[in-house]
Structure 1
Amino acid sequence: MKPKHWFLVAGLAAALALIIALITILSTGTGPRGYVANHYTRAAELDIRGDDDNRAYTSAKPVTAVVREITAKWRPQSQTTDASGVYLRYSDDAVIVQPRQPGSVIHVMDADEAYRHYHSHVGHYWGWIGTHGESFRGRGPGAGK
């Protein structure tokens, strides 16, 4: 009877460890949204009004340093830079890093909303953004069949 009892205790301990690991992973966030939330200072007063999904953060570091840190951990599907800032597109989210004295402001938002809000900066580079962040650039006849 002791060997069966040992396996039961070990199984319960493993299940508990798995639950704790999942809670830890989910609470710290994954992807670029979680990375930004965990590494930069939240600045709710800089959130874009009218977009409940938008979160603004600040950093004392310059735009290039912030972008380097984010892209070293999470490689974007598309990256566009102009005089106003750097625009990173991921499958579901977009990260926009702009200069703000002293340092940078980082906006994390839904990719579709970012496309609508920053279309004049990213329209020629991101293409049309679908509901799942896919880019449509005019595939030929029969595509997707």
Structure 2
Amino acid sequence: MSRKVRLGLYALAFAGLLAGLVLTGAALLAGGGSPAGLVVDRYRRDPARDIDGQARAFVATEPVSRVTAEVIDAWRPAARHVDASGVYLRYADDTVVIRPLAGGGTLILVEATSTAYPRYRSVLEGPWRRWPEPPGPDPVWEAER
């Protein structure tokens, strides 16, 4: 193989790698990096509804079913539970709780798994019985706070 052909192949490989990095970066900046990132990017923050400084609250005008579908379509949960109080989605590092608001719309709570599990244990003990012990503090979550 000639030197020109090899250089051309290297240039093509480098261009492909660079394009992949750009697309990955764009996805992360668009909230594609985690379920929490998706919620942060798509819904309006409502700090007045935060719980204990651990569960970050967001609101949407869409109904619970639509918000749930948007989150699940983007990020498949490890476990989910639906009851009259709302939809509970468990991910490796985050838990997303989606509940109806009395006046219409939806409340979305995003919380580190390590604090969400104890908070919702009474609701989720049966459905998520095999949920392993919560991991330690999540450095990414802590940085977002």
Do these two structures clear the TM 0.5 threshold for a shared fold by scoring above it? yes
Task: Report SS of the residue matched to 2:95.
Answer: strand
What value does the CA root-mean-square deviation take over the aligned residues? 2.5
Residue identity in the other structure for 1:45: A
Checking the alignment, whether the CA contact within 8 Å between 1:59 and 1:104 is kept in structure 2 is yes
Deviations 1:18-44 (A, max 9, x none): 876665454445121111111111111
Deviates more, 1:84-93 or 1:27-36: 27-36
What corresponds to 2:34 in structure 1? 31
**What displacement does 1:75 show?**
0.7
Give the paired residue count: 130
**What displacement does 1:57 show?**
0.5
Task: Report SS of the residue matched to 2:92.
Answer: coil
Checking the alignment, whether the CA contact within 8 Å between 1:111 and 1:129 is kept in structure 2 is no
Aligned equivalents of 2:20 and 2:35: distance in 1? 24
Mapping for residues 27-106 of structure 1, pairs under 5 Å: 27-28=29-30, 30-51=33-54, 54-100=55-101, 101-106=103-108
Structure 1 residues 114 and 131: CA distance shift in structure 2, 3 A: closer
Checking the alignment, whether the CA contact within 8 Å between 2:95 and 2:111 is kept in structure 1 is yes
Q: Taking structure 1 as the reference length, what is the TM-score of the superposition?
A: 0.71
Aligned equivalents of 2:18 and 2:79: distance in 1? 39
Structure 1 residues 13 and 39: CA distance shift in structure 2, 3 A: same
**What displacement does 1:124 show?**
1.1
Task: Report SS of the residue matched to 1:79.
Answer: strand
**What displacement does 1:70 show?**
0.8
Q: Taking structure 2 as the reference length, what is the TM-score of the superposition?
A: 0.71
What corresponds to 1:107 in structure 2? 109
Structure 1 residues 67 and 130: CA distance shift in structure 2, 3 A: same
Deviates more, 1:23-32 or 1:108-117: 23-32
Aligned equivalents of 2:17 and 2:77: distance in 1? 34
Structure 1 residues 92 and 22: CA distance shift in structure 2, 3 A: same
Aligned equivalents of 1:129 and 1:104: distance in 2? 29
Aligned equivalents of 1:46 and 1:18: distance in 2? 39
